Structure 1
Amino acid sequence: MVQEFSDYRAEGILLAGAGRAILLQLANPGIGRGVAEHSTFTERPVNRLKGTLTYVYAVVYGNDEQVKEVRRRVNRAHVPVRRPADKASAGYSAFDPELQLWVVATLYDTALTIIEKIYGPLDDAAADAMYRDYARIGTALQLPPGMWPKDRAEFGRYWAERVSTLRAEYPGVRVARGLLFPRHTALWYRAIIPPARFLTAGLLPEQLRKDFGLAWSDQHERRFHRTFRILAVAYPKLPPGIRYWFKDYCLRELDRDLKRNPQPSQHLGISA
Structure 2
Amino acid sequence: MRPTAVERWAADGVLIVGGARAILLQVADPVVAAGVARHSDFAHRPVQRLVRTLGYAYAVVLGTEADSRAVARHVDAAHRPVAGAADADRQLWVAATLYDTAGLVHERVFGPTPTPLADEVYARYARLGTALQMPAALWPGTRAAFESYWADALERLTVTDDARSIAHDLFHPAVAPLWVRAALPLAQLLTVELLPEGIREAYGFEFGPARRRRARVAWMIVRALVAVTPWTLRSTPARRLLRRIRTR
Please classify the TM superposition score into its range, dividing by the shorter chain length: over 0.9
1:58 equivalent in structure 2: 59
User: 2:33 maps to which residue?
Assistant: 32
Q: How much has 1:111 moved relative to structure 2?
A: 0.3
Question: What amino acid is aligned across from residue 108 of structure 1 in structure 2?
Answer: Y
- Unaligned residue ranges in structure 1 (runs of 5+): 83-92, 258-272
| Structure 2 residue corresponding to 1:147, chosen from 138, 147, 161 | 138
Alignment partner, residue 225 of structure 1: 216
Residues 1:211 and 2:202 aligned together: yes
TM-score normalised by the chain length of structure 2: 0.92
2:71 counterpart residue number: 70
Larger CA deviation: 185-194 vs 52-61: 185-194
2:77 counterpart SS class: helix
1:190 matched to 2:191:
no
Q: Structure 1: how far apart are the matches of 2:180 and 2:189? A: 15
Task: Describe the SS at the equivalent of 2:204.
Answer: coil
Deviations 1:134-156 (A, max 9, x none): 11222112211111011001100
Considering only CA atoms, is the larger Rg found in Structure 1 or Structure 2? 1
Deviation at 1:133?
A: 0.6
The equivalent residue for 1:126 is: 117
Deviation of residue 9 (structure 1)?
0.4
Shift of 1:29: 0.6
Cα distance in 2, alignment partners of residues 194 and 129 from structure 1? 34
Q: Is 1:41 the counterpart of 2:42 in the alignment?
A: yes
Secondary structure class of the residue paired with 2:68: helix
**Which sections of structure 2, spanning at least 5 residues, go unmatched?**
none
Q: Is the 8 A contact 1:31 1:99 kept in 2?
A: yes
Q: 2:6 & 2:139 partners in 1: Cα distance?
A: 27
User: Secondary structure in 1 aligned to 2:43?
Assistant: coil
Equivalent in the alignment of 1:21: 22
Shift of the 64–129 alpha-carbon distance from structure 1 to 2, 3 Å rule, reads: closer
Deviation at 1:5, TM superposition (A): 9.1
Tell me if 1:106 matches 2:97: yes
Q: Report what 1:156 is aligned to.
A: 147
Corresponding residue for residue 255 of structure 1: 246
From the two aligned structures, give the one with the greater helix fraction.
Answer: 2
What is the TM-score normalised by the length of structure 1?
Answer: 0.85
Q: Is residue 159–residue 202 contact of structure 2 (8 Å, CA) maintained in 1?
A: yes
CA distance in 1, matches of 2:150, 2:64: 31
* CA shift for structure 1 position 115: 0.6
> Distance in 2 between the 1:139 and 1:96 partners?
12
RMSD in angstroms over aligned alpha carbons?
Answer: 1.7
Mapped to 2, the partners of 1:122 and 1:216 lie a distance apart of 28
Deviation at residue 210 of structure 1 after TM alignment: 2.2
- What is the percentage of aligned positions where both structures have the same residue? 41
When the two structures are aligned, how many residues end up with a matched partner?
244
Per-residue deviation, 1:193: 1.1
Provide closer, same or farther for how the CA distance between residues 35 and 6 of structure 1 changes in structure 2, counting only shifts above 3 A.
Answer: closer
SS in 1 for 2:125: helix
Deviation of 1:6 after TM superposition, in Å, equals: 7.0
Amino acid corresponding to residue 12 of structure 2 in structure 1:
E
Q: CA deviation at 1:162?
A: 1.5
Cα distance in 2 for partners of 1:187, 1:125 equals 42
Aligned AA (1:193): L
Q: Is the 8 A contact 2:46 2:176 kept in 1?
A: no
1:97 aligns with 2:104: no
